[in-house]
Amino acid sequence: MTEAATDTKQMIMSAARLMVQARGFNGLSFRELAKEVGVKSASIHYHFPTKGDLGAALARRYTEDAVLYFDGLLAVSDDPAAHIRGYTEVFRSALVNNNRMCLCGIMAAEHDDLPVEVRAEVDKFTKVNVKWLVKVLSRQQPAAQAQAQAQAQAQAQAQAIERHALAIFAAVEGAQLVARGRGDIAVFDQTIEAYRTAGLLP
Amino acid sequence: MTEAATDTKQMIMSAARLMVQARGFNGLSFRELAKEVGVKSASIHYHFPTKGDLGAALARRYTEDAVLYFDGLLAVSDDPAAHIRGYTEVFRSALVNNNRMCLCGIMAAEHDDLPVEVRAEVDKFTKVNVKWLVKVLSRQQPAAQAQAQAQAQAQAQAQAIERHALAIFAAVEGAQLVARGRGDIAVFDQTIEAYRTAGLLP
DNA sequence: ACCTGAACACCGTTCAAGT
DNA sequence: ACCTGAACACCGTTCAAGT
């Protein structure tokens, strides 16, 4: 039976994710984590040899879950405004969950102090977000119209969309960071609304 | 002579600020800091009894310097667009300085893991930024026009400006966070430009 | 007034030892 | 296969002792 073992590993990951979302990667303690799970800290190392291994595993799963959710949004609606509402909802729900942050958002702040394998996974999360936002923004532009454009113009358009996508991701992460500091979910909502009013969000 | 003593204290603060901007408050080590300054770690405690005292002192001075710089911008020009260019330049220059972050931006991510006295100073930085941005945005609106408005309308306008200011602060912090992750100053510039294009920045 | 060595309880990590 | 106690070099902090 590998069931109990798998359960322990899952329990470690669940507890660790919450701890990192609250206090950052540097704020995560193996001894404290072990106490929460009900094992000794040396046992954590059996499942995750180093703290970097654990951090990378957390970020990888977090990104996988995000991809599933994001793709689900695209399948359920054709409205870019609805897509973006679903998008910002992920970041909102982290705050609702005891004022926590996006796992990769908080780790991004620790970027230069992160083990390389964790940093690589955090960077992948950014890439996945931007890629999905590009898809959403591209749908706004009728495909036929884009194809009718001259090639140079189409490339300039693609670059503008890429930058717009990155700007949305950055702005939403920033909104979460500031709202978390205020400890007020209304600040997040108002900031997102201000982005919409300005025209940054569709 | 308190000169040598003052020098040591200043050297500690300078070195510590750079370390925190690069690796966060949790990533700051008294022993490493002491080595950099050329004293023993116990000596750091003479000038700053706890790590929280040092962190709070760093954030306080950082905010004071920011206020001086921001007010200088207002004195030198009447153009809100120029004010905002000067504003984003502070965050840009941190990135130029070895891919560092705004001291309070990186500490904001560690918010819930910060000693209370540090957290208080970090929150003050946000307040100072928003207050200044409100001033800049309010200047766009001719004062006479604002006074001519009905009181209820003027209040709604003030609230909209407050939220706009918070949105700008959040977006700029987010731009820095994401650009820092990419290790590319061009990402910061393009994101700020995308904010401007969208109409978030004047 | 300023600095230090030594001790304390913490941390991630390793490893021989247990089941 | 999974867990553990004990040891290691780190960490912030304290304090008696030095100048």
Q: What is the secondary structure of B145-191 as a DSSP string? A: HHHHS-HHHHHHHHHHHHHHHHHHHHHHHHHHHHHHHHT-HHHHHHH
Q: Which of residues 82-111 of A touch B (CB under 8 A)?
A: 99, 101, 105-106, 108-111
CA distance A54 to chain B (A): 18
Q: What is the mean pLDDT of chain B?
A: 93
**Domain residue ranges of chain B, discontinuous segments joined by +:** 56-198
Question: B1: number of CA atoms within 13 Å, CB side?
Answer: 4
What is the percentage of chain A residues whose pLDDT exceeds 70? Answer: 93
Contacts of A89 by beta carbon, 8 Å cutoff, 6+ apart? none
Chain A contact set for B123 (CB, 8 A): 181-182
Chain A contact set for B110 (CB, 8 A): 23-24, 26-27, 109
Which ranges of chain B have pLDDT less than 70? 1-6, 141-148
pTM of the shown model: 0.94
* Interchain proximity A109–B111, CB inside 8 Å: no
Q: How far is CA B99 from CA A83, A145, A163, B52, B124, in A?
A: 33, 40, 20, 25, 24
A56-198 has which CATH code?
A: 1.10.357.10
CA distance B114 to chain A (A): 9
pLDDT at position B1 is: 35
Q: What is the pLDDT of residues A144-162, one digit of tens each?
A: 565 667 888 888 899 999 9
Give the pair of three-digit tokens for residue A152.
Answer: 């140079």
Q: How far is the C-alpha of A200 from the C-alpha of A194, rounded, in Å?
A: 9
In this complex, the answer to whether residue A123 has its CB under 7 A from any atom of chain C, a nucleic strand, is no
